[in-house]
Structure 1
Amino acid sequence: MSKVFSFLKPYKFPVYIALILMLVELTVELIHPLLLAKIIDDGIMQEDFAAIIRWGAIMIGMSLLAFVSGVVNSFYAAHVSQSTGFDLRSGLYKRIQTFSFTQLQRFQTSSLITRMTNDVTQIQNTIFMSLRIMLRAPLLIIGGTIMALFVNAKLALILVFMIPLIVLFLIWMMKKGGSLFSLVQAKLDGVNHVMRENLTAMRLVKVFVRHRYEGNRFKKSNEALMEKTISALRLMEVAMPVLLLFMNVGIMAILWFGSFEVQAGGAQVGEIVAIVNYATRITSALTVFSMIIIVFSRAKASAERIADVLEIDQSERDGEKGGHESAANLDGGSVVFKHVSFHYPNMKTNVINDLSFTVDQGDTLAILGATGSGKSTLFQLIPKLYETSKGDIFLDGQNIKVFEIDDLRKKIGYVPQEVFLFSGTVKENIQWGNDHATLQEVEEAAKHAQIHDLIQSLPNQYETKIGQKGVNLSGGQKQRLSIARALIRKPKLLLLDDSTSALDVKTEARFLQALKNYTCTTLIITQKLSTAMNADKIILLDEGKKAAEGNHEQLLQQSHLYQQIHQSQLREEEFQDV
């Protein structure tokens, strides 16, 4: 909670102004019953019309002051709440950007989105309502009780006895409500998770005709959210009837004993009216508490969820440990793995086992292996998305651990297995690899990626808008755009993770030929021997271990596994030719 509300510190001045103006309103509200008592006792009871006009004018003037204070208070309360919400969202976004893969795995994507939207909104609303009306309620209760004691201490003791009992009840309700609304927010995460999966995989849902199944998944998740919300609100709604019961009993007691005091001469009618007025105002303030309980309970749950993200230990950044050396002087030279082993956090089984190999500067290495053999994991170690469990990786003879992370990654062009394109134009997606690239450089990268001719045929060419995740492009077209995005960096080290799988043989051959225009070392993960045959060296992985190493001719002679792959793909090609 303290971490979240520390975001209020830059807005101390407007917070103080809002609080002062709120106190002005509160003061007016507390003085009004005294003025009303004056009008009754000095004016009406004494038949003094001038006293009625005098005290009435003072009441009207003070009401106008309270009105102006309320308007200005609303402005400052809105400014503080919206500004704090902006800062919270920005802080969460920046914090998430620093997460390592290990830290990201702690939260579902839908949960992070909920925390940045719904949870921040809960905090915003709480801040606004606190500065506008919420703080008035407890202060009105305290101030009203004190003023009632000042008017008639004997009758006010009824309020002094009733209010602590009510406050204890409210504290219990708030604690209970906090735990319930934490469950509500968790169920909201679940609904967002199902929605996100469904919308992301909409094509698959339609092709497999699974809308009924997905509809049932959403219904179950939505019903769980509804049930938890209803149970939480049902408990909260109990608060108001209980409060009204206690306070109405108190008011009746004041009227009952007050009548005896008036008859005995121990109190004036105006005093009884003033105390009843204070009791009524306290009752209205207490009824606000049912809303306060709900808002603060939800805010408490939201603040804890936001703090979970903001307070993640900065030292727990696997794969993000920055070095001290600049990678600016990297020539895109050799890549060396020395006895590298790796297992994912919270797992004991190694994905990569004692892997050693060397790729000379400017050479191309092709990596083959079955699914789950550790090919893609190997690529994630080079840009330090994860740290090796054992062993070391060297670029240009230097251990990558000594390099600054950003410097190192700027030297790498990476095309992931799962292509991702952003909403925007074709040009913007290619420039995402280098936002300072000129149109000429964009076109050059597109030509080398074998996508320029297609772009030229689009309605607005390089200014053509791409749908979300590239839904209006084929798999091969998305792959080539992703390749162009990597090439425009003019990388010293190019990592292609099965990035030509959707390309036909001729297009792939032209692309591999175009790669010779780049002075970089290239590592290609592929399932195609036609791709591997053009590499300077091939490594065959099997369950995270190096099963064989050499060029195409050497492996055909030395590796039984490679021979099997070769024969299998030859049969496939022969079958396709028939």
Structure 2
Amino acid sequence: MKTVFSFLSPYKWLVVTALFFMLIELSVELIQPLLIKIIIDDGIVAGDQQTILFWGSIMLGLSLLAFIAGIINTFIASHAVQSYGFDIRQALFKKVQSFTMATFIKFPTASLITRLTNDVTMTQNVIFMGLRIMLRAPLIVVGSIIMAFFVQPYLALFLVISAPFLVIFLYIMSRKGMTLFGKVQRSVDRVTRKIQENLQAVRLIKAYLRGNYESNRFSTVAATLKTDNVKAFRIMEFILPVLLFVMNVSLMAVLWFGAKEMQTGDVQIGELVAIVNYAMRMTGAFSMFSFIIIFFSRAKASADRMEEVLLEEDGIEEIDGNSHITAPNSGEIEFRHVSFHYPTTDIPVLKDVSFTIKSGSKLAIMGATGSGKSTLLNLIPRFFDATKGEILVDGVNVKEWQLMELRKVIGLVPQQSILFTGSIEENLRFGDSTVDGELLKEAAKQAQIHHSIEQFPDQYNTRVGQKGVNLSGGQKQRLSIARALVRKPTILLLDDSTSALDVSTENALWQALEDEKSTMLVITQKIRTAKGADQILLLEEGKVSAYGTHAQLLESSSLYKEIAKSQQEGDDYVELHS
């Protein structure tokens, strides 16, 4: 929690000021019973109207002061808490951006979303309540006991007797609460993940009429969240009755022994009223403790989860680095006996892969689903590091390049076309925000999307829905290719990114890219596409099955020959079946 709440440091003077005005409110609340005692004993009982009016006016003035202090406290506390929330969200988001892909696997997406939203809000609420309400409760208890001893020490003893029991009881319950609410937050993660998964797959769910099935699956995780919440709140709800019972017993003792002392004249009626008043204030404060523990327990669980992200040191990308090597300029790529397995498993995805791609040449990568094609591409920009072997760009191990310099020269078109909410131009400028309009259009023309853009009413200012929902699959793929071309990359990585294009559009695309000086690695399922490459790499279960030109592989590889034969039917356009 220390790291999370350290984000309040820049606003320490706001916090101190808010606490100052809260203490003014508290002081007025603690002084009022003492003033009531004076009004009763020195005014009402003595029949002194002047005393009643004087001290009554002081009470009224102090109440107005407390009211103003409360407004100022709320305003300052709100400002400090909202600023804190902004800062910690920024820090969390920036830290997540620095994660390697291996670290992303460690933190599921739904969990990260919950930590940046629900968990931050939970800690904000607790800080605000701390500055406004929560700190008042223990201070009222302590202050009431001190003032009670000042008014009438004998009766005050009955308020102190129960204090050790209540402190121990509250400590035990707060520990239980932190454990239970930590479990609740993990259940929230599972619900968020289920919602996210279903919203992304809504078309598929509707197409396969699986709405009821998915609703039942959601009910299961929602029921778990409900059960965890019920368990946590059931324990927490046990706190209030116990606190009220103990405090009411103390109050009854005060009344019982106070009445006897009044008969002997050792206690005045004003003193008894003041002690009862302090007891009532303590009872009210203790009744808040159950809510305080609930909020604090949930905030502790949330803070621990955020701290886990903020303190993550393994798998952090050093974008700038300390390397003196400047950006690659030729784009020659060599794999030397590269093997790789993902951090979450020991099963190898790539096994002893070796090949070389000359600068400016085009390599087609083929293989069945799960053969390691996409993984191979991911190793070049160092989304993951090879488990064994070396990957060289321009003769230098990729681990020696600064990540910023390496990735600056890479244009990536992922298998799933990702577009962002905004205009078409903004999506294209994602590749290079400094490029001028003419180069933007040139890249769009190369990607065979310029004509389609021109048909839209707002052309390049056309708004793109979330993930490009208002565009066809082919349009999204071509925009993704254009975005990569905007960078004028030295290395262009295309991960099966022409699957939604028709034959004529794809032919035009490859023809337009012939003038590109980029070294291209193209994952494809089509023999027709592979034939146009300088070299073809055929993967089978993570190993290099064959490497060479189309003609060479027809002669030397039975697997490639089988693929080519299967695709000859259907005008050389039948895709590889895995």
Q: Does the alignment reach a TM-score above 0.5?
A: yes
Question: Structure 1's 329 and 269: CA in aligned 2 closer, same or farther, altered over 3 A?
Answer: closer
Question: Structure 1's 202 and 66: CA in aligned 2 closer, same or farther, altered over 3 A?
Answer: same
Deviations 1:195-234 (CA, angstroms, capped at 9, x unpaired): 1111110100110001111111122222221222122222
Rounded to whole Å, the distance in 2 between the matches of 1:24 and 1:409 is: 57
Rounded to whole Å, the distance in 1 between the matches of 2:187 and 2:544 is: 45
For the residue of structure 1 that corresponds to 2:106, the secondary structure is: coil
The one-letter code of the counterpart of 2:315 is E
Partner of 2:234: 234
Rounded to whole Å, the distance in 2 between the matches of 1:220 and 1:349 is: 32
Question: Structure 1's 517 and 574: CA in aligned 2 closer, same or farther, altered over 3 A?
Answer: closer
By how many angstroms is 1:321 displaced? 8.0
By how many angstroms is 1:368 displaced? 1.2
Partner of 2:340: 342
Partner of 1:140: 140
Partner of 1:363: 361
For the residue of structure 2 that corresponds to 1:197, the secondary structure is: helix
Partner of 1:495: 493
The one-letter code of the counterpart of 2:247 is M
Deviations 1:501-534 (CA, angstroms, capped at 9, x unpaired): 2222221121111112222111111111111111
Question: Structure 1's 428 and 230: CA in aligned 2 closer, same or farther, altered over 3 A?
Answer: same
Deviations 1:309-340 (CA, angstroms, capped at 9, x unpaired): 1111x2434x7687533664422331111111
By how many angstroms is 1:565 displaced? 1.2
CA contact (8 A) 2:244 2:287 kept: yes
Partner of 1:76: 76
CA contact (8 A) 1:322 1:401 kept: no
Partner of 2:28: 28
Question: Structure 1's 273 and 323: CA in aligned 2 closer, same or farther, altered over 3 A?
Answer: closer
Deviations 1:130-188 (CA, angstroms, capped at 9, x unpaired): 00011011011001001111111111111110122122212222111111111211111
By how many angstroms is 1:20 displaced? 1.1
Partner of 2:315: 316
Fraction of identical pairs, as percent: 53
Partner of 2:244: 244
By how many angstroms is 1:247 displaced? 1.1
The one-letter code of the counterpart of 1:208 is Y
Partner of 2:414: 416
The one-letter code of the counterpart of 2:112 is L
For the residue of structure 1 that corresponds to 2:246, the secondary structure is: helix
1:445 aligns with 2:480: no
Rounded to whole Å, the distance in 2 between the matches of 1:86 and 1:25 is: 29
For the residue of structure 2 that corresponds to 1:105, the secondary structure is: helix
Rounded to whole Å, the distance in 2 between the matches of 1:36 and 1:575 is: 94
CA contact (8 A) 1:365 1:538 kept: yes
For the residue of structure 1 that corresponds to 2:416, the secondary structure is: coil
What TM-score, normalized to structure 2?
A: 0.97
1:565 aligns with 2:532: no
Match runs of 1:87-126 below 5 Å: 87-126=87-126
By how many angstroms is 1:433 displaced? 0.8
The one-letter code of the counterpart of 1:353 is K
CA contact (8 A) 1:324 1:402 kept: no
1:270 aligns with 2:267: no
The one-letter code of the counterpart of 1:515 is L
Deviations 1:95-123 (CA, angstroms, capped at 9, x unpaired): 11111111111222111111111111111
By how many angstroms is 1:94 displaced? 0.7
Partner of 2:167: 167
CA contact (8 A) 2:432 2:487 kept: yes
Partner of 2:211: 211
The one-letter code of the counterpart of 2:373 is K
Rounded to whole Å, the distance in 1 between the matches of 2:322 and 2:39 is: 79
Question: Structure 1's 353 and 324: CA in aligned 2 closer, same or farther, altered over 3 A?
Answer: same
The one-letter code of the counterpart of 2:468 is G
For the residue of structure 2 that corresponds to 1:573, the secondary structure is: coil
Rounded to whole Å, the distance in 2 between the matches of 1:347 and 1:439 is: 46
The one-letter code of the counterpart of 1:207 is A
1:545 aligns with 2:520: no
By how many angstroms is 1:303 displaced? 0.9
Question: Structure 1's 208 and 253: CA in aligned 2 closer, same or farther, altered over 3 A?
Answer: same
By how many angstroms is 1:381 displaced? 0.5
Question: Structure 1's 323 and 91: CA in aligned 2 closer, same or farther, altered over 3 A?
Answer: closer
CA contact (8 A) 1:159 1:250 kept: yes
What TM-score, normalized to structure 1?
A: 0.97
Question: Structure 1's 301 and 323: CA in aligned 2 closer, same or farther, altered over 3 A?
Answer: closer
Rounded to whole Å, the distance in 1 between the matches of 2:131 and 2:231 is: 29
By how many angstroms is 1:349 displaced? 2.2
Q: Which runs of 5+ in 2 are unaligned?
A: none
Rounded to whole Å, the distance in 2 between the matches of 1:37 and 1:276 is: 11
The one-letter code of the counterpart of 1:468 is Q
Rounded to whole Å, the distance in 1 between the matches of 2:74 and 2:136 is: 13
CA contact (8 A) 2:339 2:348 kept: yes
For the residue of structure 1 that corresponds to 2:552, the secondary structure is: helix
Rounded to whole Å, the distance in 1 between the matches of 2:384 and 2:320 is: 12
Rounded to whole Å, the distance in 2 between the matches of 1:552 and 1:432 is: 35
Q: CA RMSD in A?
A: 1.5
Rounded to whole Å, the distance in 1 between the matches of 2:340 and 2:319 is: 16
1:286 aligns with 2:286: yes
CA contact (8 A) 2:327 2:405 kept: no
Rounded to whole Å, the distance in 2 between the matches of 1:323 and 1:230 is: 49
Rounded to whole Å, the distance in 2 between the matches of 1:332 and 1:278 is: 81
For the residue of structure 2 that corresponds to 1:366, the secondary structure is: strand
Q: Report how many residues are paired.
A: 574
The one-letter code of the counterpart of 1:240 is L
CA contact (8 A) 1:320 1:386 kept: no
Q: Which runs of 5+ in 1 are unaligned?
A: none
Deviations 1:360-399 (CA, angstroms, capped at 9, x unpaired): 1111111111111111111000001111111111111122
The one-letter code of the counterpart of 1:73 is N
By how many angstroms is 1:575 displaced? 9.8
